[in-house]
């Protein structure tokens, strides 16, 4: 975080504390009575199954099951500008999990970010989206979670600095940013669109990554889906700011979300890999609805993007002349796969179609070039070797500059060497802590005919 | 490496080439004439087919050399043979040299396959060594004019009572060892073994871990060229157009070889050949035909193809009748050998004689095929086995050898090295065949199996060369050689029906082999052949029956098994694992057990395993396994443990992950992205292998004995952990999740 | 002609800038240890050490190697004088066909140079890019642990940066 934002954050925080103290009365929430953990057999099987699909759409396991840990037992450190928050145990363990939560307590947590004891929850738990989830779906999610294997795992203490360690402050945050019951179906749109809107804005919480956040960590409503940050990756703009060389369509989104890749866009990786991996197991109709709605909010792309530009050849020539080192690295290290003529996702996307190269933010490209794409255990999945060990910062930045100049019509990135140095550091951490699979287990049934 | 047509030491000693020729012919003739010598007792192991002692042991002033017609494939038996010869000859292990399969130098032992190397070649070497030692003593007795009983052997020499040493090298003269083996040998008392039964370090490992020249891939002959083949994109594709002019002008390119659909390019350096191959591939236009079946429907595809049905086993006891009956169908997909090093061969044509260095499993049959393909007399073709990356059966090795020979023929004089690409290896190797088994059995009132029905559908499990038509180059030529008609492999070893006959004692049993001759995919022998799937099916179904009977799986097996050595192996594995009849695994974990005697006549193996299944993702993980094995007299216990450990780990990869994929035209599993195998994050915490050493008992092959039991043990543990029975291989995360969620 | 430093010696190599290091090592320098397994960076058989880090030589072109030190298995030791990692693999008999082993050894060597006491989990994670088809994994893990112990015995340190022989 830059110094200026830190100052602003401090001032705002101080104001917020004052407001929060004043608002103590309205901030207080009662505890909801503890219950004896319900018998897993008491839940309807169909309800549990629906809950499982919903949990996959909500990507619950991504935060609540760190790599190598027990399912849903929590403990994932989530770095925020205010400190580190650890995900909690949502298994039905009565002591350390949510075993003593009634359905009402669970629903309140989803709806307004308050735990059974009445404490406010940090919005890393995205209740600003989950508030839109229907009672019926909360019931299914509750049934699913309460029938999981209970795991005894106490929550880890959050590491937050004052004043952010004051849960009371969260009440103020909610006053400013939480809009319960804001979601309303649009009767002018199709049922499919509305289903998609309900999921995207609610349980799937796409905006949590794809919308930029303000100084207080809330999504900026005015810049909805304009691209955000997550785990040192850039979550691309999925509104009209998208830099995807080929505009996204509902069909393309459906394939991408369902199978983890699309020939016009490449392979999901970084934090998105887990999302598409989850979506591969849910009903196709829900993924289709998400795709339809997302395509409609993408709107018409800006800057007249219609596909790879015609002057690509001229650009390639120019790029080679001005950056011969980058060009020869590309030829030797990248082109053998990316121009190998093999169908996606295993052949490597045509880099002219790569959003990471057109994106204003070079981090994703740096991440992928340095760390590659690891194999998914025992499943068909794209593999790309990482080049962190074989390229120094100068070589990597020559390569990235070359790719940018050759495969996009965008201006050169600034501070590329710093981005690369940072990516070297942060990716090492990301790859060690992020939940498996780190990449999408794409299993395409289709093949381009010769 | 031996360069072709350079006189070797033996030839020089013999004073010319005559002896070599006579030896080669002699042994070939011997094989044809002596083999079925009717009722006369024949010597054991491969001495039956190659009875001359000097086909196995040769001695001269320079030392003692042991010859085997088998190929070292990474199993480590070269070391084991050296141990055997050392003990039976009374000579220092280090002083021996072992030469492996070479059509000019060694006996014809067919293929190195079926876990037969110890039984065939090990036995032959043991007996030949014992008989050679007897001849040496007899010769010494003659020279010293002493009774044989007064002489003993020690450290490469015969020792007289007065301490006088007659080194073996001095005792052998002329054709003393060129005599036929006797039916029986005076073998050493196992109690006196010095190196047999000891974990002697393998002789091949030092070079392999220091960058020595260890593989055919590492060969560099003077003036050697590098070739790459451009294979068709799919089975049966026809080359319609290929302008080679531009490729021929590329740097380093020496020649483009085209013969019908066979296309290759030769260059001075390897990377030049790769670039040229890519250019040639881009220039080649092919006409493809959609000929492949539906991958998702192999069960129906296989069972609806015409089959030749044989009841291979029938037993009936009308006094016993079943009360409770269950049935189940198990399937196995096509699976790939997946050698880490793609196939490679070097060939050179000099003065009309072709030499091919290859990691084939059968230098003699492969020579037959290559000679036929080149329309040369077999005597003008020499095949020398050089170790390659592990093959696990009939992979691309023989095809690469044929490729090299065809290309070398076009460039007389220059050695040509062909190395396949990863994609070629994956798409063109002959796969392990898909299989279907249907089982039906009943329990009697006492919870014993009353009747047992087993049906197996499968292709042949060997399309190895012999004729040219089994090799890709010969199939792709303008005047192609037809693929030989597939044949079922005969019992008792069997192919698709290998281990189909239950080793247990069932009062009523019937086993039918449905042999399918149509082969939509190119297939051949893969480690354990049909035994992998048959044992997987039988041992899974035994568990299903044990559950039905409410019995402990280990006790249930013992209840149906009379064979004492089998019982010992089961008990040993169960004990080592800590198996208890009232055991209860921790949450999300399961225990599994399985047993088989490979081919019902080779090594015994039992495997117990503990598997963890992630309920949410379905991810299975083998936590630990304990195995017991009885392979008769153990020659090298560490080598045996290595084989069984490897079998369990490899079988786990087959069982949990692997299937060849294809669309209606092409194979789509063409690398490690599309054909994923085990990686280190799935390696178990521990694997224990316990040996039951049967001193003095015949050697029983063990290289393939672990595949089936490991698979079934893991499947049984998954069933134990989840309460769901998975019957379709591979038991993937996705399938397990679907079963749990169902 | 490009200059390439391998195992402490400078070589003049006549190879184009896009030639992968693997082919230069095998074809021009006649070194055997680095193996061609896939040419796609998927199996690890071609692994060598460049400036102390394990790299896949099949996807590292010559253009990236200017001024860098390459170490191959040959540079660590010989049969007569094996480096600790080589001794460890011999002593554990950690090979079947052995084709994948040199790559594994080089990655392990690079790991041990920066972390002399890796945990079992760290070794497994490090070896993740490597495939072994014979199923020798248990022995490979044991050999890496053994190598760590051997290296720990003070003077056993090998030619860490490729200056052996």
Burial B501-536 (b: 16+ CB within 10 A, else e): bbbbebbbbbbbbbbbeebbbbbbbbbbbbbbbbbb
A427 vs B348, more confident: B348
Domain boundary among B359, B393, B428: B428
Class of residue B351 by CB neighbours under 10 A (exposed 0-12, middle 13-18, buried 19+):
exposed
Q: Is residue B297 part of a domain?
A: no
Question: Touching check for A381 and chain B: CB below 8 Å?
Answer: yes
User: Which one of C17, C39, C53 has the shortest CB-CB distance to A389?
Assistant: C53
Question: Touching check for C138 and chain A: CB below 8 Å?
Answer: no
Residues of chain B with C-beta less than 8 angstroms from the C-beta of C72: 211
Quick one: B171 and B223 in the same domain? no
Distance between CA atoms of residues A213 and A378, nearest Å: 37
Q: Which domains does chain A have, with CATH numbers?
A: 11-177 (no CATH), 313-433 (1.10.760.10)
Residues of chain C with C-beta less than 8 angstroms from the C-beta of A395: 64
pLDDT value, residue A82: 87
State how far residue B239 is from chain A, nearest Cα, in angstroms.
Answer: 14
Residues of chain C with C-beta less than 8 angstroms from the C-beta of B680: 124-125, 127-128, 130, 137
Residues of chain C with C-beta less than 8 angstroms from the C-beta of B205: 89-90, 93, 95, 98
Contact A389 C40 (CB under 8 A): no
Domain boundary among B410, B428, B446: B428
- If one counts the domains in chain B, the total is 3
Rounded to an integer, what is the distance from CA B162 to the centroid of its chain?
49
State how far residue A385 is from chain C, nearest Cα, in angstroms.
Answer: 5
What is the separation, in whole angstroms, between the first and last Cα of chain C?
24
Question: Touching check for C165 and chain B: CB below 8 Å?
Answer: no
Mean per-residue pLDDT for B586-597? Answer: 96
User: Which one of B73, B338, B677 has the shortest CB-CB distance to C97?
Assistant: B73
Quick one: B88 and B235 in the same domain? no
pLDDT value, residue B3: 39
Contact B288 A450 (CB under 8 A): yes
Q: Is residue B568 part of a domain?
A: yes
Task: Give me the DSSP letters along B531-576.
Answer: HHHHHHHHHHHHHHHHHHHT--HHHHHHHT---HHHHHHHHHHHHH
Q: Which residue of C has its CA nearest to B390?
A: C97
Quick one: B412 and B539 in the same domain? no
Interface of C with B in 24-83 (CB under 8 A): 26-28, 30-33, 35-40, 42-43, 45, 72-74, 77-79, 82
Residues of chain A with C-beta less than 8 angstroms from the C-beta of C19: 332
Q: How many CB pairs under 8 A join B and C?
A: 180
Contact B271 C15 (CB under 8 A): yes
User: Which one of B657, B673, B732 has the shortest CB-CB distance to A346?
Assistant: B673
Distance between CA atoms of residues B560 and B555, nearest Å: 9
State how far residue C113 is from chain B, nearest Cα, in angstroms.
Answer: 18
Quick one: B236 and B95 in the same domain? no
Specify the length of chain A in residues. 450
Distance between CA atoms of residues B669 and B333, nearest Å: 13
Write the CA distances from A326 to A333, A336, A411, integer angstroms: 10, 15, 16
Question: Touching check for A65 and chain B: CB below 8 Å?
Answer: yes
**Poorest-pLDDT segment among A271-285, B16-30, B159-173, B516-530:** B16-30
State how far residue A331 is from chain B, nearest Cα, in angstroms.
Answer: 12
pLDDT value, residue B160: 96
Q: Is residue B716 part of a domain?
A: yes
Quick one: B13 and B103 in the same domain? yes
Contact B676 A381 (CB under 8 A): yes
Class of residue B712 by CB neighbours under 10 A (exposed 0-12, middle 13-18, buried 19+):
buried
Question: Touching check for A148 and chain B: CB below 8 Å?
Answer: yes
Strand-pairing partners, residue B346, are: B357, B417
Quick one: B175 and B265 in the same domain? no
Locate the domains of chain C by residue range: 2-75, 84-156
Cβ contacts of B128-131, under 8 Å, gap ≥ 24: B128/B47, B128/B53, B128/B55, B128/B56, B128/B57, B128/B181, B129/B56, B129/B57, B129/B66, B129/B84, B129/B85, B129/B88, B129/B89, B130/B88, B130/B185, B130/B186, B130/B187, B130/B188, B131/B53, B131/B181, B131/B182, B131/B185
pLDDT in tens, B629-642: 999 999 999 999 99
Mean per-residue pLDDT for B489-510? Answer: 97
Q: Which residue of C has its CA nearest to A326?
A: C63
Do residues B477 and B441 touch, judged by C-beta distance below 8 A? no
State how far residue C60 is from chain A, nearest Cα, in angstroms.
Answer: 6
* Mean pLDDT over each residue of chain B, to the nearest integer: 93
Quick one: B60 and B31 in the same domain? yes
Interface of A with C in 421-450 (CB under 8 A): 432
Question: Touching check for B36 and chain A: CB below 8 Å?
Answer: no
Q: Which residue of B has its CA nearest to C76?
A: B210
- Examine the pLDDT at B63 and tell me if it is beyond 60: yes
Quick one: B81 and B187 in the same domain? yes
Do residues A109 and A121 touch, judged by C-beta distance below 8 A? yes
Domain boundary among B428, B457, B486: B428
Do residues B562 and B587 touch, judged by C-beta distance below 8 A? no
User: Which one of A71, A341, A346 has the shortest CB-CB distance to B674?
Assistant: A346
Q: Is residue B728 part of a domain?
A: yes
Contact B645 C33 (CB under 8 A): no
Q: Is residue B103 part of a domain?
A: yes
Mean per-residue pLDDT for B554-558? Answer: 98
Contact A385 C42 (CB under 8 A): yes
Q: What is the pLDDT along chain A (450 residues), one digit of tens a residue?
A: 455 566 666 667 767 676 656 666 667 889 999 999 999 999 999 999 999 999 999 999 989 998 778 999 999 988 888 889 999 999 999 999 999 999 999 999 999 999 999 999 999 999 999 999 999 999 999 999 999 999 999 988 999 888 888 888 888 899 889 988 778 999 999 999 999 999 999 999 999 999 999 999 999 999 999 999 988 899 999 998 898 888 999 999 999 999 888 988 888 888 899 899 999 989 999 999 999 999 998 876 555 544 445 566 677 777 778 888 899 899 888 988 888 777 777 878 889 889 999 999 999 999 999 999 888 889 998 899 999 999 999 999 999 999 999 999 899 999 999 999 999 988 766 555 554 444 444 443 333 332
Q: How many CB pairs under 8 A join A and B?
A: 59
Residues of chain A with C-beta less than 8 angstroms from the C-beta of C15: none
Cβ contacts of C144-149, under 8 Å, gap ≥ 24: C144/C85, C144/C88, C144/C108, C144/C111, C144/C112, C144/C118, C145/C120, C146/C88, C146/C91, C146/C92, C147/C84, C147/C85, C147/C87, C147/C88, C147/C89, C147/C108, C147/C109, C147/C112, C148/C112, C148/C116, C148/C117, C148/C118
Quick one: B725 and B659 in the same domain? yes
- Examine the pLDDT at B7 and tell me if it is beyond 60: no
Question: Touching check for B661 and chain A: CB below 8 Å?
Answer: yes
pLDDT in tens, C3-53: 999 999 999 999 888 899 999 999 999 999 999 999 999 999 999 999 999
Q: Is residue B515 part of a domain?
A: no
- Examine the pLDDT at B8 and tell me if it is beyond 70: no
Distance between CA atoms of residues B213 and A184, nearest Å: 73
State how far residue B274 is from chain A, nearest Cα, in angstroms.
Answer: 11
**Poorest-pLDDT segment among A61-75, B93-107, B510-524, B554-568:** A61-75
Quick one: B37 and B184 in the same domain? yes
Contact C27 B207 (CB under 8 A): no
List the structure tokens of C6.
């391998």
Contact A148 B288 (CB under 8 A): no
Q: Does domain C2-75 have CATH number 3.10.20.30?
A: yes
Do residues B629 and B604 touch, judged by C-beta distance below 8 A? yes
Distance between CA atoms of residues B531 and A88, nearest Å: 49
Which domain covers residue B105, as residue numbers? 9-195
User: Which one of C20, C99, C138 has the shortest CB-CB distance to B271?
Assistant: C20
Interface of A with C in 339-378 (CB under 8 A): 372, 374-375
Mean per-residue pLDDT for B153-182? Answer: 95
Q: Which residue of B has its CA nearest to C132?
A: B340
Q: Does domain C84-156 have CATH number 1.10.10.60?
A: no
Contact C97 B390 (CB under 8 A): yes
pLDDT in tens, B398-407: 999 999 999 9
Quick one: B146 and B261 in the same domain? no
pLDDT value, residue A10: 65
pLDDT value, residue A443: 41
pLDDT value, residue A300: 67
Tell me whether domains C2-75 and C84-156 share a fold: no
Q: What is the ipTM of this complex?
A: 0.94
User: B228: closest CA among B250, B200, B199, B195?
Assistant: B250
Quick one: B113 and B226 in the same domain? no
Class of residue B621 by CB neighbours under 10 A (exposed 0-12, middle 13-18, buried 19+):
buried
Q: What share of chain C is helix, strand, coil (3-state, %, to 5)?
A: 40, 15, 45
State how far residue C27 is from chain B, nearest Cα, in angstroms.
Answer: 7
Contact A328 C63 (CB under 8 A): yes
Residues of chain C with C-beta less than 8 angstroms from the C-beta of A332: 17-20, 61-64
For the domain that residue B149 is a member of, what is the CATH number?
Answer: 3.30.365.10
Contact C60 A383 (CB under 8 A): no
At residue B186, φ and ψ (nearest 5 deg) are -90, 95
Class of residue B564 by CB neighbours under 10 A (exposed 0-12, middle 13-18, buried 19+):
exposed
Q: Is residue B444 part of a domain?
A: no
Mean per-residue pLDDT for B271-291? Answer: 95
């Amino acid at each position: 975080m830059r110094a200026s934002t830190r100052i602003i954050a401090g001032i705002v925080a101080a104001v917020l504390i004052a407001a929060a103290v004043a608002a103590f009365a309205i901030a207080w929430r009662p505890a909801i009575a503890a219950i004896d953990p319900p018998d897993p057999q008491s839940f309807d099987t169909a309800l549990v199954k629906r809950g499982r699909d919903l949990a996959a759409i909500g990507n619950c396991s991504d935060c609540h099951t760190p790599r190598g840990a027990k399912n849903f037992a929590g403990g994932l450190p989530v770095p925020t500008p205010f400190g580190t928050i650890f995900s909690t145990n949502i298994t039905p363990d009565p002591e350390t999990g949510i075993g003593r939560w009634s359905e009402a307590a669970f629903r309140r947590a989803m709806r307004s970010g308050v735990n059974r004891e009445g404490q406010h929850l940090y919005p890393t738990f995205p209740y600003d989206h989950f508030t839109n989830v229907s009672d019926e779906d909360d019931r299914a999610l509750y049934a699913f979670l309460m029938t999981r294997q209970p795991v005894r795992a106490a929550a880890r203490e959050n590491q937050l600095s004052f004043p952010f360690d004051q849960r009371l402050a969260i009440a103020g945050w909610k006053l400013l940013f939480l809009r319960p019951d804001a979601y309303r179906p649009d009767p002018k749109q199709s049922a499919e669109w509305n289903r998609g809107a309900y999921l995207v804005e609610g349980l799937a919480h796409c905006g949590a990554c794809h919308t930029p956040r303000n100084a207080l960590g809330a999504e900026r409503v005015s810049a909805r889906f304009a691209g955000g940050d997550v785990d040192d990756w850039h979550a691309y703009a999925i509104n009209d700011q998208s830099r995807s060389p080929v505009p996204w369509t509902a069909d393309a989104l459906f394939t991408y979300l369902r199978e983890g890749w699309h020939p016009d866009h490449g392979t999901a990786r970084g934090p998105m890999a887990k999302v598409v991996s989850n979506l591969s197991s849910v009903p196709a109709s829900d993924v289709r609805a998400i795709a339809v709605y997302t395509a409609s909010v993408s709107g018409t792309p800006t800057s007249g993007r219609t596909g790879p530009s015609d002057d690509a050849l001229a650009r390639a020539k120019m790029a080679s002349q001005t950056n011969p080192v980058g060009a020869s690295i590309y030829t030797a290290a990248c082109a053998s796969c990316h121009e190998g003529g093999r169908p996606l996702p295993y052949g490597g996307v045509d880099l002219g179609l790569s959003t990471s190269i057109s994106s204003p933010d070079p981090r994703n490209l740096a991440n992928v070039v340095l760390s590659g794409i690891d194999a998914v255990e025992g499943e068909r999945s794209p593999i790309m070797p990482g080049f962190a060990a074989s390229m120094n910062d100068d070589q990597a930045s020559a390569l990235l500059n070359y790719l940018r100049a050759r495969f996009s019509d965008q201006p050169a990135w600034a501070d590329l060497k710093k981005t690369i140095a940072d990516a070297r550091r942060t990716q090492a951490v990301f790859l060690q802590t992020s939940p498996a699979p780190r990449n999408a287990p794409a299993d395409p049934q289709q093949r381009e005919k010769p | 490496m031996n360069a072709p047509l350079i006189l070797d030491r033996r030839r020089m000693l013999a004073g010319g080439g005559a002896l070599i020729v006579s030896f080669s012919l002699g042994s070939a003739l011997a094989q044809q004439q002596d083999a079925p010598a009717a009722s006369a007792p024949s010597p054991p192991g491969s001495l039956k087919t190659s009875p001359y002692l000097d086909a196995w042991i040769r001695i001269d002033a320079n030392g003692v050399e042991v010859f085997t017609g088998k190929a070292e494939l990474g199993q480590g038996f070269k070391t084991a043979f050296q141990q055997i010869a050392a003990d039976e000859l009374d000579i220092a292990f280090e002083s021996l040299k072992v030469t492996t399969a070479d059509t000019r130098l060694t006996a014809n032992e067919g293929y190195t396959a079926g876990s037969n190397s110890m039984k065939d070649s090990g036995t032959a070497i043991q007996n030949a060594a014992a008989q050679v030692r007897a001849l040496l003593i007899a010769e010494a007795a003659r020279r010293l004019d002493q009774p044989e009983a007064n002489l003993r052997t020690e450290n490469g020499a015969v020792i007289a009572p007065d301490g006088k040493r007659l080194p073996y090298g001095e005792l052998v003269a002329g054709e003393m060892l060129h005599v036929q083996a006797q039916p029986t040998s005076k073998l050493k008392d196992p109690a006196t073994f010095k190196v047999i039964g000891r974990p002697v370090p393998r002789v091949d490992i030092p070079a392999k871990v220091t960058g020595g020249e260890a593989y055919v891939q590492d060969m560099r002959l003077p003036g050697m060229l590098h070739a790459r083949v451009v294979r068709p994109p799919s089975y049966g594709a026809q080359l319609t157009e290929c302008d080679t002019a531009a490729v021929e002008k590329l740097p380093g390119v020496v020649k483009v070889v085209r013969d019908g659909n066979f296309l290759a390019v030769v260059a001075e350096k390897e990377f030049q050949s790769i670039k040229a191959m890519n250019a040639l591939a881009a220039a080649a236009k092919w006409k493809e035909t959609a000929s492949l079946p539906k991958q998702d429907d192999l069960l129906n595809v296989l069972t609806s193809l015409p089959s030749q049905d044989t009841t291979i086993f029938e037993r009936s006891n009308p006094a016993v009748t079943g009360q409770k009956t269950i049935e189940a169908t198990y399937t196995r997909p096509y699976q790939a050998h997946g050698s880490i090093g793609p196939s490679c061969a070097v060939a050179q044509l000099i003065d009309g004689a072709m030499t091919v260095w290859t990691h084939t499993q059968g230098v003699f049959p492969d020579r037959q095929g290559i000679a036929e393909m080149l329309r040369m007399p077999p005597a003008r073709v020499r095949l020398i086995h050089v170790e390659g990356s592990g093959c696990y059966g009939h992979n691309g090795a023989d095809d690469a050898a044929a490729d090299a020979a065809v290309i070398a023929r076009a460039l007389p004089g220059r050695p040509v090295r062909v190395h396949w690409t990863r994609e070629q290896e994956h798409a063109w190797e002959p796969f392990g065949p898909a299989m279907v088994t249907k089982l039906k059995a009943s329990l009697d009132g006492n919870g014993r199996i009353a009747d047992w029905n087993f049906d197996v559908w499968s292709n042949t499990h060997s399309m190895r060369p012999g004729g040219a038509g089994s090799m890709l180059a010969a199939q792709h030529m303008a005047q192609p050689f037809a693929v030989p008609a597939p044949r079922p492999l005969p019992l008792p070893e069997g192919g698709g029906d290998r281990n189909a006959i239950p080793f247990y004692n069932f009062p009523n049993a019937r086993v039918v082999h449905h042999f399918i001759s149509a082969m939509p995919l190119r297939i051949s022998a893969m480690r354990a052949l049909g035994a992998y799937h048959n044992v997987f099916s039988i041992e899974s179904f035994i568990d299903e029956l044990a559950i039905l009977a409410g019995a402990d799986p280990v006790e249930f097996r013992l209840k149906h098994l009379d064979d004492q050595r089998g019982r010992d192996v089961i008990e040993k594995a169960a004990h080592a694992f800590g198996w208890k009849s009232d055991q209860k695994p921790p949450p999300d974990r399961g225990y599994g057990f399985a047993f088989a005697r490979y081919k019902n006549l080779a090594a015994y193996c039992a495997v117990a395993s503990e598997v963890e299944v992630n309920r949410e993702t379905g991810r299975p993980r083998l936590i630990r396994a304990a195995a017991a094995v009885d392979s008769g007299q153990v020659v090298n216990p560490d080598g045996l443990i290595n084989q069984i450990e490897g079998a369990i780990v490899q079988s786990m990869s087959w069982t949990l992950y692997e299937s060849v994929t294809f669309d209606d035209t092409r194979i789509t599993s063409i690398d490690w992205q599309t054909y994923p195998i085990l990686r280190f994050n799935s390696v178990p915490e521990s694997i224990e292998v316990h040996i039951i050493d049967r001193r003095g008992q015949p050697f029983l092959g063990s290289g393939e004995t672990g595949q089936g039991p490991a698979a079934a043990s893991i499947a049984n543990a998954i069933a134990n952990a989840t309460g769901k029975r998975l019957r379709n291989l591979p038991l993937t995360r996705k399938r397990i999740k679907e079963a749990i969620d169902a | 002609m490009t200059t390439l430093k391998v195992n402490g010696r400078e070589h003049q190599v006549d190879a184009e800038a896009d030639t992968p290091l693997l082919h230069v090592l095998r074809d021009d320098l006649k070194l055997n240890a680095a193996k061609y397994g896939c040419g796609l960076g998927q199996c690890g058989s071609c692994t060598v050490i460049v400036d102390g880090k394990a790299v896949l030589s099949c996807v590292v072109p010559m253009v990236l190697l200017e001024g860098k030190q390459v170490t191959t298995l040959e540079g660590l030791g010989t049969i007569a004088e094996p480096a600790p990692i080589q001794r460890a693999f011999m002593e554990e008999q950690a090979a079947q066909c052995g084709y994948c082993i040199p790559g594994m050894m080089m990655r392990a060597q690079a790991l041990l140079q920066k972390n002399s006491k890796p945990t079992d989990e760290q070794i497994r994670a490090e070896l993740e890019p490597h495939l072994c088809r014979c199923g020798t994994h248990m022995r490979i893990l044991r050999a890496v642990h053994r190598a760590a112990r051997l290296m720990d015995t003070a003077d056993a340190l090998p030619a860490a940066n490729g200056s052996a022989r």
